[in-house]
Amino acid sequence: MAVRIIREEGDEILRKKSREVEVVDDKIRELLDDMVETMHKYNGVGLAAVQVGILKRIIVIDIYDGKGPLKLINPVIIKQKGEQEVEEGCLSFPNKYAKMLRPAEVTVEALDENGKKIKIHGKELLAQALCHEIDHLNGIVFVDNMIPGTLEYVEPEKNV
Protein backbone atom coordinates (compact mmCIF):
# COMPACT_ATOMS: atom_id res chain seq x y z
CA MET A 1 0.00 0.00 0.00
CA ALA A 2 1.09 3.53 -0.70
CA VAL A 3 -0.13 7.06 -0.23
CA ARG A 4 -0.76 8.63 -3.63
CA ILE A 5 -0.41 12.28 -4.63
CA ILE A 6 -3.76 14.08 -4.72
CA ARG A 7 -4.41 16.20 -7.79
CA GLU A 8 -5.57 19.68 -6.82
CA GLU A 9 -7.72 22.49 -8.17
CA GLY A 10 -6.56 23.63 -11.59
CA ASP A 11 -5.31 20.16 -12.64
CA GLU A 12 -7.12 19.48 -15.92
CA ILE A 13 -7.48 15.74 -15.18
CA LEU A 14 -10.16 16.61 -12.61
CA ARG A 15 -12.39 17.77 -15.50
CA LYS A 16 -12.05 14.55 -17.50
CA LYS A 17 -14.62 11.73 -17.58
CA SER A 18 -13.36 8.46 -16.11
CA ARG A 19 -13.56 5.16 -18.02
CA GLU A 20 -15.32 1.99 -16.88
CA VAL A 21 -13.19 -0.74 -15.36
CA GLU A 22 -13.36 -3.82 -17.62
CA VAL A 23 -11.57 -6.33 -15.37
CA VAL A 24 -11.29 -6.29 -11.59
CA ASP A 25 -7.81 -7.67 -10.94
CA ASP A 26 -5.00 -7.39 -8.38
CA LYS A 27 -3.88 -4.10 -9.91
CA ILE A 28 -7.35 -2.60 -9.32
CA ARG A 29 -7.42 -4.01 -5.76
CA GLU A 30 -4.00 -2.46 -5.08
CA LEU A 31 -5.28 0.90 -6.37
CA LEU A 32 -8.34 0.61 -4.07
CA ASP A 33 -6.09 -0.07 -1.05
CA ASP A 34 -3.81 2.85 -1.95
CA MET A 35 -6.84 5.11 -2.32
CA VAL A 36 -8.16 4.13 1.13
CA GLU A 37 -4.73 4.77 2.67
CA THR A 38 -4.50 8.16 0.90
CA MET A 39 -8.03 9.15 1.95
CA HIS A 40 -7.32 8.24 5.58
CA LYS A 41 -3.97 10.07 5.60
CA TYR A 42 -5.71 13.30 4.59
CA ASN A 43 -8.79 12.71 6.80
CA GLY A 44 -11.11 12.50 3.82
CA VAL A 45 -14.55 10.89 3.67
CA GLY A 46 -14.19 9.88 0.03
CA LEU A 47 -11.76 9.74 -2.86
CA ALA A 48 -12.17 9.09 -6.59
CA ALA A 49 -9.42 7.50 -8.70
CA VAL A 50 -9.25 10.63 -10.88
CA GLN A 51 -8.09 12.56 -7.79
CA VAL A 52 -4.94 10.43 -7.77
CA GLY A 53 -4.51 10.84 -11.52
CA ILE A 54 -6.20 7.64 -12.74
CA LEU A 55 -9.17 7.95 -15.10
CA LYS A 56 -11.02 4.84 -13.94
CA ARG A 57 -14.53 4.69 -12.45
CA ILE A 58 -13.37 3.79 -8.95
CA ILE A 59 -14.27 5.44 -5.62
CA VAL A 60 -13.63 4.78 -1.94
CA ILE A 61 -15.70 6.17 0.94
CA ASP A 62 -15.36 5.96 4.70
CA ILE A 63 -17.91 7.79 6.85
CA TYR A 64 -16.19 6.42 9.97
CA ASP A 65 -19.26 4.55 11.20
CA GLY A 66 -17.29 1.46 12.21
CA LYS A 67 -18.29 -0.45 9.05
CA GLY A 68 -14.96 0.25 7.36
CA PRO A 69 -14.36 1.79 3.95
CA LEU A 70 -16.54 1.17 0.90
CA LYS A 71 -14.63 0.28 -2.26
CA LEU A 72 -16.77 0.73 -5.36
CA ILE A 73 -15.99 0.07 -9.01
CA ASN A 74 -18.16 1.50 -11.83
CA PRO A 75 -20.71 3.01 -9.39
CA VAL A 76 -24.01 4.29 -10.82
CA ILE A 77 -26.80 6.09 -8.96
CA ILE A 78 -30.00 4.22 -9.83
CA LYS A 79 -32.38 5.95 -7.41
CA GLN A 80 -32.45 9.16 -5.39
CA LYS A 81 -34.95 10.58 -2.95
CA GLY A 82 -35.44 13.83 -1.05
CA GLU A 83 -33.07 16.73 -0.68
CA GLN A 84 -30.61 17.96 1.94
CA GLU A 85 -28.55 21.12 2.23
CA VAL A 86 -25.00 20.17 3.18
CA GLU A 87 -21.60 21.75 3.62
CA GLU A 88 -19.03 20.13 1.42
CA GLY A 89 -15.29 20.17 0.98
CA CYS A 90 -12.93 18.17 -1.22
CA LEU A 91 -9.38 16.85 -0.87
CA SER A 92 -8.64 18.35 -4.30
CA PHE A 93 -9.73 21.80 -3.03
CA PRO A 94 -7.86 22.08 0.28
CA ASN A 95 -9.47 24.32 2.91
CA LYS A 96 -12.40 25.30 0.66
CA TYR A 97 -15.99 24.60 1.66
CA ALA A 98 -19.39 25.44 0.18
CA LYS A 99 -23.05 24.67 0.73
CA MET A 100 -24.86 22.45 -1.76
CA LEU A 101 -28.11 20.63 -2.30
CA ARG A 102 -27.74 16.86 -2.50
CA PRO A 103 -30.25 14.01 -2.45
CA ALA A 104 -31.13 12.86 1.09
CA GLU A 105 -30.99 9.21 -0.02
CA VAL A 106 -29.43 7.38 -2.95
CA THR A 107 -29.19 3.81 -4.17
CA VAL A 108 -26.00 2.92 -6.03
CA GLU A 109 -25.12 -0.17 -8.05
CA ALA A 110 -21.44 -1.02 -8.36
CA LEU A 111 -18.91 -3.82 -8.34
CA ASP A 112 -17.01 -4.63 -5.15
CA GLU A 113 -13.27 -5.33 -5.01
CA ASN A 114 -13.91 -8.92 -6.14
CA GLY A 115 -15.93 -7.88 -9.19
CA LYS A 116 -19.25 -8.90 -7.58
CA LYS A 117 -22.29 -6.72 -8.29
CA ILE A 118 -23.54 -4.94 -5.15
CA LYS A 119 -26.19 -2.38 -4.23
CA ILE A 120 -25.59 0.32 -1.62
CA HIS A 121 -28.34 2.39 -0.04
CA GLY A 122 -27.01 5.59 1.50
CA LYS A 123 -28.67 8.29 3.58
CA GLU A 124 -27.41 11.69 4.74
CA LEU A 125 -23.56 11.75 4.84
CA LEU A 126 -23.19 8.50 2.89
CA ALA A 127 -25.62 9.73 0.21
CA GLN A 128 -23.70 13.01 0.03
CA ALA A 129 -20.33 11.24 -0.28
CA LEU A 130 -21.60 8.85 -2.96
CA CYS A 131 -22.93 11.77 -5.04
CA HIS A 132 -19.73 13.80 -4.56
CA GLU A 133 -17.40 10.97 -5.60
CA ILE A 134 -19.56 9.84 -8.55
CA ASP A 135 -19.57 13.48 -9.75
CA HIS A 136 -15.75 13.28 -9.84
CA LEU A 137 -15.99 10.31 -12.22
CA ASN A 138 -17.93 12.54 -14.61
CA GLY A 139 -15.46 15.44 -14.43
CA ILE A 140 -17.70 17.46 -12.08
CA VAL A 141 -16.18 19.09 -8.99
CA PHE A 142 -18.17 20.34 -6.01
CA VAL A 143 -17.74 24.05 -6.78
CA ASP A 144 -19.69 23.44 -10.03
CA ASN A 145 -22.87 22.73 -8.06
CA MET A 146 -22.46 24.86 -4.96
CA ILE A 147 -25.11 27.30 -3.82
CA PRO A 148 -23.83 30.63 -5.24
CA GLY A 149 -22.05 32.83 -2.72
CA THR A 150 -21.37 30.09 -0.16
CA LEU A 151 -17.74 29.25 -1.01
CA GLU A 152 -15.44 29.85 1.95
CA TYR A 153 -11.71 29.48 2.38
CA VAL A 154 -10.74 28.31 5.86
CA GLU A 155 -7.19 29.21 6.89
CA PRO A 156 -5.35 25.98 7.82
CA GLU A 157 -4.29 25.70 11.46
CA LYS A 158 -0.61 26.36 12.01
CA ASN A 159 1.33 23.75 13.92
CA VAL A 160 3.10 25.55 16.75
Catalytic residues: 133
86 phi and psi angles, rounded to 5 deg = -130, 160
Closest CA to 12 of 79, 92, 68: 92
42 phi and psi angles, rounded to 5 deg = -100, 15
What count of other Cβ atoms lies within 10 Å of the Cβ of residue 11? 14
For residue 68, is it left (φ>0), alpha (ψ between -120 and 50) or beta? Answer: left
What is the spatial distance between Cα 47 and Cα 34, in angstroms, rounded to a whole number? 11
E strand or H helix at 130, and its extent? helix 124-137
* Bridge partners, 77 (sequence order): 108
What is the spatial distance between Cα 29 and Cα 139, in angstroms, rounded to a whole number? 23
